[in-house]
Amino acid sequence: MSPFRQKLSAASCALLALAVNPAEAAQRDVASGGNETADWEVDTSYLSYREADQRVSVGKAVATLVREAEERSITVSAVHDTMSGASPTGALQSDSPASTVTTVSGGNSSNSLDYSTSEFSDTRRQLGLGIEQALSPDYTLSYGGVVSDESDYESLGVNISLARESANRLSTITGGIGWIDDSIYRSDTGGTPEPLGNVQQPRPFSKGERKTLDALLGLSRVLNRLTVVQLNLSLSASDGYHSDPYKIISAADANERIIANFHDSRPDSRLRGSVFGKLVHQLRDSLHSVHLSYRLYQDDWGISSHTADLRYRHRLNRQQYLEPHLRLYRQSAADFYQRSLSVDAGSNPVMPGDSLASADYRLDALSSTTVGLKYGIRFTPDAELRLRAEYLDQRFSTAIFDRNSALILQASFSLSF
């Protein structure tokens, strides 16, 4: 090195070796400790779901805590649901004055023949843990678990997935599997009734156990600087008790006079598959964006469905946005769905050959429309409030309750620190 450069080098060392100055000290508080820096984010939300005619109302409180560090982020979430109402069981309405079958709330079990609705009141608690770990600049491993408990249902789920970002960072491929272990029972008996058993002479069947294996393969890709697309293929196979211990199917004559009521009976396995595509696009020369998604779903119960979802986020300014939402859903009925069982000339119920029958309105051919509006405001870069109102309208093809509507209101607040 030339003497000139040696002098220069020494002088620059002296210049740059200057100790901490006041402005820097102030900034040190902001980013203290380099890679030790961890960020916390708390997300809280309350949702009210109310169906018309006091059928079902749910209050859902959710809190998630995220600790984001450079190599790993941890998410802990807690959900508390309170549910009550009178849910349609699938049974036809008897001619006698309506009184209901009581379940969880207990006590006034009635001899009345009207089984068409089932009054219930329950709480559900759910705890979840998720960890996202960077294995290398390209690979991210995510894993977690969820436990959920209510008076008639216990669920334990674990999942793991691995995502790989391509070298040019334009595409991400994700593969994941999940395992869910569910226990289903009636809160009053602690077990499940025999499928297609007569409601008035219930015979214990089993403690309903069900195991589910989910697999998902996803690809997301940046198409251009304004557009991202995602394609997911997913399969879910479950084995075990799939009936609903509260659902009932009536056997009735041509005049819908109830001859008998039977417990729900569904296959003991289910294989579901779906293709999900999503497009996220920023409108050119604006801050507004569009989320459009479509899902094609099919299962071996004979249900196939189409779901389209459109959200348009309109940024009012840098702090606020409005987001209208439209969701359209249509499904075909399950093969074993019937509004009611028929009876023969001797008024004996005609039992299905495969012993499968359900009048659960959710297995009927149906269409749902959801319209909603969300408003978000960011008070500071670290605090955001979101308010959402949605209206869900469902039309059923043959189910005894041929229509359902619900109002969903949600308020969420997130804070980073």
Partner 1 sequence: MSVFPSCQNRFTAVRCQTLLCRAISAACLLGLSACSLTQDIVQVSEVKPWQRGALARDDMQVINDAMEQAIDDHVYFSREGSTGGVVVQGGGCGCN
Partner 2 sequence: MVNEALQVERRGAIWVGEFRAMASPCEVHLELRSGKLAQQLLSMARMEALRIERLFSRYRDDNVIHRINEANGKPVTVDEETARMLDFADTCFHASDGLFDITSGVLREVWRFDGSDTIPTAAEVEPLLARIGWQRVTWEKPHICLPAGMQVDLGGIGKEYAVDRVLGLLRERSPGACLVNFGGDLHASGAPQSAGFWSVGIESHGSAGMATQSLQLQRGALTTSGDARRYLLRDGVRYSHVLNPKTGWPVVGAPAAVTVAGDTCIEAGIMSTLALLHGPDAESFLDSHELHYWVQR
Write out the residues near partner 2 by the rule CB under 8 A: 1-2, 4-5, 7-12, 14-16, 18, 21, 23-24, 27, 30-31, 33-35, 37, 39, 68-71, 134, 137, 165, 167-169, 318-319, 378, 380-381, 416
Q: CB under 8 A: which stretch of 29-37, 58-66, 189-197, 253-261 binds partner 1? A: 58-66
DSSP state string for 83-112: EEEEEE-SPPPPSSPP--EE-TT-S-----
Apex CA 179: angle with CA 178 and CA 183, to 5°? 140
Q: Which does 71 bind (CB under 5 to 8 A by kind): partner 1, partner 2, none?
A: partner 2
Query: In sequence order, what are the residues at sequence separation of 6 or more whose Cβ sits closer than 8 angstroms to the Cβ of residue 300?
Result: 267, 269, 270, 271, 272
What are the structure tokens assigned to 120, written together? Answer: 């219930």
Closest approach of partner 1 to the CB of residue 305, in Å: 4
Considering the complex, state which of residue 262 and residue 336 has its C-beta at the smaller distance from partner 1: 336
Q: Which does 69 bind (CB under 5 to 8 A by kind): partner 2, partner 1, none?
A: partner 2
Among 209, 214, 300, 393, binds partner 1 (CB under 8 A): 214
Among 147, 173, 292, 385, binds partner 1 (CB under 8 A): 147
What are the structure tokens assigned to 77, written together? Answer: 């979430």
Considering the complex, state which of residue 319 and residue 355 has its C-beta at the smaller distance from partner 2: 319
Among 83, 163, 196, 248, binds partner 1 (CB under 8 A): 83
Binding map of partner 1 across residues 337-366, x = CB under 8 A, - = no contact: -------------------------xx--x
Q: CB under 8 A: which stretch of 6-14, 92-100, 250-258, 384-392 binds partner 1? A: 384-392
What are the structure tokens assigned to 84, written together? Answer: 């009550």
Q: Which does 60 bind (CB under 5 to 8 A by kind): partner 1, partner 2, none?
A: partner 1
Distance CA 276, CA 399 (A): 28
Closest approach of partner 2 to the CB of residue 31, in Å: 5
Own/partner pairs for 316-324, CB < 8 Å, 24+ apart? 318/287, 318/378, 319/377, 319/378, 319/379, 320/375, 320/376, 320/377, 320/378, 321/375, 321/376, 322/373, 322/374, 322/375, 323/373, 323/374, 323/375, 323/376, 324/371, 324/372, 324/373
Among 48, 398, 412, 416, binds partner 1 (CB under 8 A): 412
Closest approach of partner 1 to the CB of residue 327, in Å: 8
- DSSP 8-state assignment for residue 30: H
Among 45, 93, 123, 189, binds partner 1 (CB under 8 A): 45
Is 150 a binding residue for partner 1 by CB under 8 A? The answer is: yes
Closest approach of partner 2 to the CB of residue 287, in Å: 11
Distance CA 273, CA 300 (A): 9
Distance CA 249, CA 253 (A): 13
- Whether 358 and 377 have beta carbons less than 8 Å apart is answered as no
Is 225 a binding residue for partner 1 by CB under 8 A? The answer is: yes
Give the SS3 label for residue 368: strand
- Whether 67 and 38 have beta carbons less than 8 Å apart is answered as yes
Distance CA 39, CA 145 (A): 22
Q: Which does 373 bind (CB under 5 to 8 A by kind): partner 1, partner 2, none?
A: none
Among 242, 266, 313, 339, binds partner 1 (CB under 8 A): 313
What are the structure tokens assigned to 163, written together? Answer: 């995502």
Among 100, 140, 261, 305, binds partner 1 (CB under 8 A): 305
Among 116, 140, 340, 404, binds partner 1 (CB under 8 A): 404
Q: Which does 266 bind (CB under 5 to 8 A by kind): partner 2, partner 1, none?
A: none
Residues numbered 168-207 forming contacts with partner 1, rule: CB under 8 A: 168-170, 176-178, 180, 182, 184
- DSSP 8-state assignment for residue 27: H
Q: Which does 25 bind (CB under 5 to 8 A by kind): partner 2, partner 1, none?
A: none
Residues numbered 254-283 forming contacts with partner 1, rule: CB under 8 A: 272, 274-276, 278, 280, 282
Distance CA 62, CA 148 (A): 13
Distance CA 208, CA 359 (A): 19
What are the structure tokens assigned to 271, written together? Answer: 């294989």
